[in-house]
Amino acid sequence: MYHPLHDGWTLTAVSDEVDIAGVPAVVPGCVHTDLLAAGLIDDPYLDDNENRLTWIGRTTWAYETTFLWPADGAADAERVDLVCDGLDTVATVLLNGTEVAATANMHRFHRFPVRELLREGENTLRVVFGSPYDYAEERRAEVGDRPGAYDEPYQFIRKMACNFGWDWGPTLVTAGIWRSIGLHAWSGARLASVRPLVTMEGHDGRVEVRATVERAAPDVSLTVTAEVAGVRAEARLAPGEREAVLVLAVPGPDVWWPRGYGDQPLHPLTVRLAPAGGHGLASGGGEDEWTRAVGFRSLRLDLADGAFTFVVNDVPVFARGANWIPDDCFPARITRERLAERLGQACDANMNLLRIWGGGLYESDDFYDLCDRLGLLVWQDFPFACAAYPEEEPFASEVEAEARDNVARLMPRPSLVLWNGNNENIEGYHDWGWRESLAGRTWGGGFYHDLLPRVVAELDPTRPYWPGSPYSGAPDLPPNDPARGTVHIWDVWNREDYLRYGAYHPRFVAEFGFQGPPAYATLRRAVRDEHLTPASPGLAHHQKAADGMDKLLRGLGDHLPQPSGLDDWHYLTQLNQARALAFALERFRAQAPRCMGTVIWQLNDCWPVISWAAVDGDGRRKPLWYAVRRAYADRLLTFQGDAITLVNDGGAGWSGELTVTRLALSGEPLAVETLPVAVPARGTLSVPLPEAVAAAGDPAKELMTASAGGLTAVRFFAEDTEVAYPEAEMDVVTEEVPGGTRVTVTARTLVRDLALFPDRLDPRAEVDDMLVTLPPGATATFHVSSPEPLDPAALTSYPVLRCVNEARR
For the whole model, what pTM was predicted? 0.96
| C-alpha radius of gyration, the chain, whole number | 29
Q: Which of 360, 358, 365, 378 is nearest to 339 (CA)?
A: 365
Contact between 773 and 803 (Cβ < 8 Å)? no
Q: Parallel, antiparallel, or unpaired: how do β-strands 181-186 and 176-177 relate?
A: unpaired
Dist CA 614 CA 623 (whole Å): 7
Dist CA 83 CA 87 (whole Å): 11
Among the residues of 390-465, which ranges form H helices? Answer: 395-410, 425-431, 434-438, 445-446, 452-459
Q: Parallel, antiparallel, or unpaired: how do β-strands 79-84 and 181-186 relate?
A: antiparallel
Span between the terminal Cα atoms of the chain, in Å: 69
Say what the pLDDT of residue 530 is: 87
Which helix or strand (DSSP H or E) is residue 648 part of? strand 643-648
Query: What does the DSSP 8-state code read for residue 758?
Result: G
Q: Parallel, antiparallel, or unpaired: how do β-strands 319-324 and 597-600 relate?
A: parallel
Dist CA 664 CA 750 (whole Å): 10
Query: DSSP string spanning 781-802?
Result: EEEEE-SSPPPHHHHTSTTTEE
How many helical (H) and strand (E) elements, i.e. helices and strands, does the chain have?
Answer: 17, 44
Say what the pLDDT of residue 808 is: 60
Q: Which of 216, 212, 182 is nearest to 194 (CA)?
A: 212
Q: What is the mean pLDDT of each run of 10 residues along the chain (809 residues)?
A: 96 96 98 98 98 97 97 91 98 98 98 97 98 98 97 98 98 98 96 97 97 91 96 95 97 97 98 78 59 98 98 98 98 98 98 98 98 98 98 97 98 98 98 95 98 98 98 97 98 97 98 98 95 94 97 96 94 98 98 98 98 98 98 98 97 96 96 97 97 95 96 96 96 96 97 98 98 96 96 96 84
Q: Parallel, antiparallel, or unpaired: how do β-strands 730-737 and 176-177 relate?
A: unpaired
Which residues make Cβ contacts (< 8 Å) with residue 572, sequence separation at least 6?
556, 560, 561, 563
Which residues make Cβ contacts (< 8 Å) with residue 320, sequence separation at least 6?
350, 351, 352, 353, 597, 598, 632, 649
3-state secondary structure 706-721: EEECCEEEEEECCCHH
- Residue 673: is it exposed, middle or buried by C-beta count within 10 angstroms (0-12/13-18/19+)? middle
Dist CA 750 CA 807 (whole Å): 12
**Residues 617-628, buried b or exposed e (16+ Cβ, 10 A)?**
bbbbbbbbbbbb
Domains of the chain: 2-131+175-184 (2.60.120.260), 188-281+287-294 (2.60.40.10), 638-718 (2.60.40.10), 730-802 (no CATH)
Q: Is the dihedral of CA 271, 293, 414, 346 positive or negative?
A: negative
Q: Is the omega angle on the peptide bond into residue 593 within 30 degrees of 0, that is, cis?
A: yes
Dist CA 458 CA 605 (whole Å): 35
Which residues make Cβ contacts (< 8 Å) with residue 535, sequence separation at least 6?
none
Q: Parallel, antiparallel, or unpaired: how do β-strands 766-767 and 231-237 relate?
A: unpaired
